C-alpha cells in the first residue's frame, strides 16, 4: 500500500497487527467450540482467551517465520509463547487455509464497508450537483462534436445512476465474499466438526461456505475485484468528463483551485485538472487487479497457493486505491465549479446548428421526403459551419425550405426549451430512491 494513496482507516484493516488479531479470534472461537464438543479441555479455552488483549509482536513472528518458512505456524508458535502449555490444543483439526481464507473474508468485508461509505459520499455529492444544475443548459457532444443540448444536471444524474449500480454490485459482492471455511485439510471435515465452522462463522459475522476444498472458492474473490474494477471505471468515466470540460477551449467546468495552489512549475497561469487525472490513474491501478483475480480461480485439485502471492498484493492495494479514489472523487464533485455562462457561449457558438434534427423532422412533417429534408438541412448547416452566420437565417434564405415552411415555423425550431421538456421525467427515474 502506497502511503500517498492510502487512508489510515483502510491501512488499519490490512495491517499485520489487525491480520494477526483476526487469526487469533478465529483460533479462539474454534477452540471455544471444540471444548464445548469435548475435543479439547475447557482449560484450553481460558488459556487462549487470556491473550485477548495481547498486541502481537510482528517482528517476533517474522523472526520465527524466517526459520519455519510458514506464516501460520510462526503465528501459532508466537501465540504459544503467550498462552503456554495449553497452546497444544489450539488449531486442532484446522489447516492454515481455514485461518488465512476466513481472515481474508473478514478483511474484504470490512474493506467493502469502508468503500460503501465512500460510494455514499460520491452519490450524495452527485445528487446535490445534479439538482443544482438541473436546468443549466449546455451543448451535448457526440464524437467530441457539438450535437444537441443537454444540461449539466443530466450529466451529474447520469454518473449518479452509474455509481448507484456500482453500489448495488458492491453490496452483493460484499455478501458473497463474507464466508467462513473451517473444514480442515482438503475440506472434508475429517478432523474438525462442521459445528466448529458454524460457530466461528457466527462469531465473526460471516456466512458458512457451503463447500470448500482446502480453500474458499476463488470465483467469489474474482467477482469482488471485478466489482471494484467497475466502480473504478465509473470514477474514470466521471473524471474524463471533467477533464474534457476543463480544457481551455471548453471551460464549462473546472476543479476547485484553492488560494496558493500552483498549477505548473514553469507556467504560472495554469490550472490543471490534477485531481481527475490522478483519479484516472488510480482507476487503472484498481482495474489491474481484475485479471489476476480471475486467474486465481483455477487452482490445482483441492488446493495450491498460486493465488496467495497475488492476493497479498491486490487485496490491500485494490481496496486501498479505490477507497482513496472514492473520497477524492467525492471531494472533487463537491468542489467542482460550473461556468453556466460559458456553457451558454459554447451552445451559441455554432450558429444554432444543434437544432438540425428538429428541422429535419419538421420538414418531413411538412411533406418533404426524409432524403430531401436531410439534404436541405445539411446544406444550410454546412454553410453555417463553413461561412458562419446563423442557421435560422440561412434557412430563411433558402427557397426550397421556405416553399415548405414559413419563417415562423422555422424560428419555432430554435426554441431551446424543446430539448428540456423531459428533464423532470429523467430525474424522477434516476432519483426514485
Residues labelled catalytic? 143, 264
Distance of CA 226 to the CA centre of its chain: 10
The x, y and z cell numbers of residue 220, run together, are: 467469489
In this structure, the answer to whether residues 312 and 191 fall within a common structural domain is yes
300 shares its domain with 358: no
CATH number assigned to the domain comprising residue 360: 1.10.40.30
> Strand, helix or coil at 386?
helix
- Global pTM? 0.95
- Taking every pair of Cα atoms in the chain, the longest distance, rounded to a whole number of angstroms, is 103
**Residues 61 and 116 both lie in one domain:** no
**Helix, strand, or coil (residue 217):** coil
Note the pLDDT of residue 318: 98
- Mean pLDDT in each 10-residue stretch from start to end of the chain (433 residues)? 94 97 98 97 95 93 96 96 94 96 98 98 98 97 96 98 98 98 96 98 98 96 98 98 96 90 83 94 98 97 94 97 98 97 96 96 96 97 95 97 96 95 97 89
Phi, psi of 42 (to 5 degrees): -60, -30
CATH code assigned at 8: 1.10.275.10
**Runs of H (alpha helix) within 303-351:** 306-335, 340-348
- What is the C-alpha separation between 44 and 207, in angstroms, rounded? 26
Q: Which three cell numbers stand for residue 349?
A: 457558438
The residues facing 289 across adjacent strands are: none
Say yes or no: 144 and 208 in one domain: yes
Phi, psi of 138 (to 5 degrees): -150, 165
Structural domain containing residue 68: 1-92
Closest CA to 414 of 339, 369, 371, 350: 350
For position 161, which CATH number holds?
1.20.200.10
Identify whether residues 50 and 160 lie together within a single domain.
Answer: no
Question: Which residue(s) pair with 253 in the sheet?
Answer: 338
Give the torsion through C-alpha atoms of 63, 66, 69, 73, to 10 deg: -10
Chain centre to alpha carbon of residue 303: 30
Q: What pLDDT is recorded for position 262? A: 84
Residue 349 has a pLDDT of 95
Residue 431, in any domain of the structure: no
For residue 249, tell me if it sits in a domain.
yes
Closest residue by Cα to residue 248 from 179, 172, 359, 346: 346
Output the pLDDT for position 266. Answer: 83
Task: State the pLDDT at residue 267.
Answer: 85
Contacts of 116 (CB under 8 A, 6+ apart): 167, 170, 171, 174
Q: Are 343 and 357 within one domain?
A: no
Torsions phi, psi for 161 (to 5 deg): -60, -40
Per-residue pLDDT tens over the stretch 373-422: 999 999 999 999 999 999 999 999 999 999 999 999 999 999 999 999 99
429 within some domain: no
Last residue of a domain, one of 348, 376, 401: 348
The pair phi, psi for residue 205, each rounded to 5°, is: 70, 35
42, 60, 92 - which closes a domain: 92
Is residue 300 located within the same domain as residue 404?
no
- For residues 66 and 140, state if they share a domain: no
One domain, residues 35 and 181: no
| Alpha helix (H) residue ranges in 69-215 | 71-83, 96-132, 152-177, 194-204
* Domain count across the chain: 3
Q: Is residue 298 part of a domain?
A: yes
Task: Looking at the structure, tell me whether residues 185 and 330 fall in a common domain.
Answer: yes
Q: Does 263 fall in a domain?
A: no
Which pLDDT score is estimated for 270? 83
Kind and range of the H or E element at 372? helix 370-387
Judgement on whether residues 200 and 292 belong to the same structural domain of the protein? yes
Q: Which of 30, 65, 92 is the last residue of a domain?
A: 92
233 and 374 together in one domain: no
Amino acid at each position: 500500500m502506497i502511503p500517498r494513496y492510502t487512508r489510515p482507516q483502510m491501512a488499519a484493516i490490512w495491517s499485520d497487527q489487525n491480520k494477526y488479531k483476526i487469526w487469533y479470534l478465529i483460533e479462539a472461537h474454534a477452540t471455544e467450540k471444540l471444548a464445548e464438543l469435548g475435543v479439547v479441555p475447557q482449560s484450553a479455552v481460558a488459556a487462549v482467551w487470556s491473550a485477548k488483549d495481547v498486541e502481537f509482536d510482528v517482528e517476533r513472528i517474522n523472526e520465527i517465520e524466517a526459520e519455519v518458512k510458514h506464516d501460520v505456524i510462526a503465528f501459532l508458535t508466537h501465540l504459544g509463547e503467550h498462552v503456554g502449555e495449553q497452546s497444544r490444543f489450539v488449531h486442532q483439526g484446522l489447516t492454515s487455509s481455514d485461518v488465512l481464507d476466513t481472515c481474508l473474508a473478514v478483511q474484504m468485508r470490512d474493506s467493502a464497508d469502508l468503500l460503501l461509505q465512500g460510494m455514499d459520499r460520491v452519490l450524495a455529492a452527485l445528487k446535490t450537483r445534479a439538482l443544482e444544475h438541473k436546468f443549466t443548459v449546455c451543448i451535448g457532444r457526440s464524437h467530441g462534436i457539438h450535437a444537441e443540448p443537454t444540461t449539466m444536471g443530466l450529466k451529474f444524474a447520469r454518473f449518479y445512476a452509474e455509481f448507484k449500480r456500482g453500489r448495488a454490485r458492491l453490496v452483493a459482492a460484499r455478501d458473497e465474499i463474507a464466508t467462513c471455511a473451517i473444514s480442515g485439510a482438503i475440506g472434508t471435515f475429517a478432523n474438525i466438526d462442521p459445528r466448529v465452522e458454524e460457530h466461528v462463522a457466527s462469531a465473526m459475522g460471516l456466512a458458512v461456505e457451503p463447500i470448500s476444498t482446502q480453500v474458499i472458492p476463488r470465483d467469489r474473490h474474482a467477482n469482488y475485484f471485478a466489482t471494484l474494477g467497475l466502480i473504478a471505471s465509473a470514477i474514470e468515466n466521471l473524471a474524463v468528463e471533467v477533464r474534457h470540460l476543463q480544457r481551455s477551449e471548453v471551460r464549462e467546468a473546472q476543479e476547485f483551485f484553492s488560494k496558493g495552489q500552483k498549477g505548473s512549475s514553469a507556467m504560472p497561469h495554469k490550472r490543471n485538472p490534477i485531481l481527475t487525472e490522478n483519479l484516472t490513474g488510480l482507476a487503472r491501478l484498481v482495474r489491474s487487479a481484475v485479471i489476476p483475480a480471475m486467474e486465481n480461480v483455477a487452482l490445482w485439485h483441492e488446493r495450491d497457493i498460486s493465488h496467495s502471492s497475488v492476493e497479498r498484493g491486490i487485496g490491500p492495494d485494490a481496496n486501498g486505491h479505490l477507497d482513496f479514489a472514492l473520497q477524492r472523487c467525492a471531494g472533487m464533485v463537491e468542489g467542482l465549479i460550473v461556468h453556466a455562462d460559458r456553457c451558454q457561449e459554447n451552445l451559441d457558438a455554432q450558429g444554432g446548428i444543434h437544432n438540425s434534427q428538429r428541422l429535419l423532422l419538421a420538414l418531413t412533417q411538412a411533406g418533404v421526403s426524409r432524403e430531401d429534408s436531410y439534404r436541405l438541412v445539411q446544406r444550410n448547416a454546412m454553410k453555417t459551419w463553413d461561412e458562419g452566420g446563423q442557421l435560422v437565417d440561412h434557412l430563411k434564405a433558402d427557397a426550397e425550405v421556405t416553399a415548405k415552411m414559413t419563417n415562423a415555423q422555422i424560428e419555432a425550431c430554435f426554441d431551446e426549451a424543446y430539448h428540456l421538456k423531459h428533464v423532470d421525467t429523467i430525474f424522477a427515474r434516476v432519483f426514485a430512491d
